[in-house]
Amino acid sequence: MAFHNYPNTFASEVYLFVNNLGRSLEFYQKILGLRVLKKEQRRAVFTANGTDPLVTVEQPIPVIPGNPRKAGLYHVALLLPSRADLALILAHLLKEGYPLQGGADHAVSEAVYLADPDGNGIELYHDRPAAQWKWNDGKVFMTTEALDEQILNESGGKEWEGMPEQTIIGHIHLQVADLKASERFYCQGLGFDLVANFGDQADFISTGGYHHHIGLNTWRSKGIPATESEKIGMRDFTLAFTSSEARDAAIERLKAMGAPVTEENGRVMVSDPSNIRIVLGLKNK
C-alpha cells in the first residue's frame, strides 16, 4: 500500500464518541473483525495488525446525541489488501444479516458501505491497480456504478477469519460547512493536491497521486460547523506525516493562515474551517 507510506500524508486513526461501549465492542470485533488493542472502563482501541490503532471509541458521560447534519465524519474507509478480502467480509456481513447501505464500483476501487450502531459511516474497499486508474490534466476519473454481484465468487469458498492484518485507513471522508474554505485549508495549508472536483458540492484530495486520502462534501452539512462538546460522532482524526520536516512545514503554513494550531498532552492539534479537530501525527518511514 505504497500510497500510505513515505513521503505521503494520510489519515491513520479516527476517534469516535459512542452511545454504548459494549455495543461498539461487539460491532467492531464481531461484525468488522478488528482486534482490541487496549480497553479501559469507557474506551476501547481497535487494531487490525495488533500494533497500530485504527479506531478508538469512547462512551462519554453524559451521552449526548449528535447532529448528522453538522460537519464531521461522513465515513471512515478501511482499505483491504485485495478484492478477495472484500468478498470475504461482504459474505460475512450478509451471513450476519448486518444492514448495508450500498455497494459501488468507483473505477479506481470497489466498495461496500455500512454504519456502526451509532450511525458513524464506514466504507470497506479495495483498490484496483494504480496503473488502471485514468487521469486527465491532474484529475482522476471516478464514477459510481453498481457493484459487480459476482464479487462474492472471489472468496473462493473460504471462511472469513476477521479483518486482514494489512488493513489500514485508506481515506477519510468529511462533511464540511464550507467547501472552498476547506479546500484552501487542506491544500494550501496541509499540502494536499486537489485530484477530483464535483462542482460546489465535493472535492477529493490526496498526496503522492492517490485517488483520494480525504474526501470533502457539503451534501448535508453546508453552513453547519462541528461543535466541540462530547456528542456522539467523531471527536477527531489523525493525519500521519512521514517526516518531521513535512509536518513542521505544514504547521508553519497553517499558522501563517491563522489556523488554530495547539499542543495538548504532547499532541499537535488543529481545527479546520468547519471546526473538525485533526491530530497532526508522525509515522515512521
DSSP code string of 195-213: EEEETTTEEEEESTT-S-S
Host domain of residue 257 = 2-282
Confidence of residue 229 (pLDDT cuts 50, 70, 90): confident
HEC profile for 158-192?
CCCCCCCCCCEEEEEEEECCCHHHHHHHHHHHCCC
Residue 157 in this model has a pLDDT that exceeds 90: no
Q: What is the side-by-side strand order in the sheet with 53-58? A: 35-39, 43-47, 53-58, 10-17, 233-241, 277-282, 267-271, 262-264
pTM exceeds 0.95 for this model: yes
Number of domains in the chain: 1
Task: Kindly write down the DSSP assignment for every residue of 33-69, as one continuous string.
Answer: --EEEEE-SSEEEEESSSSSEEEEEE--SS-B---TT
Confidence of residue 228 (pLDDT cuts 50, 70, 90): confident
217: domain CATH number is 3.10.180.10
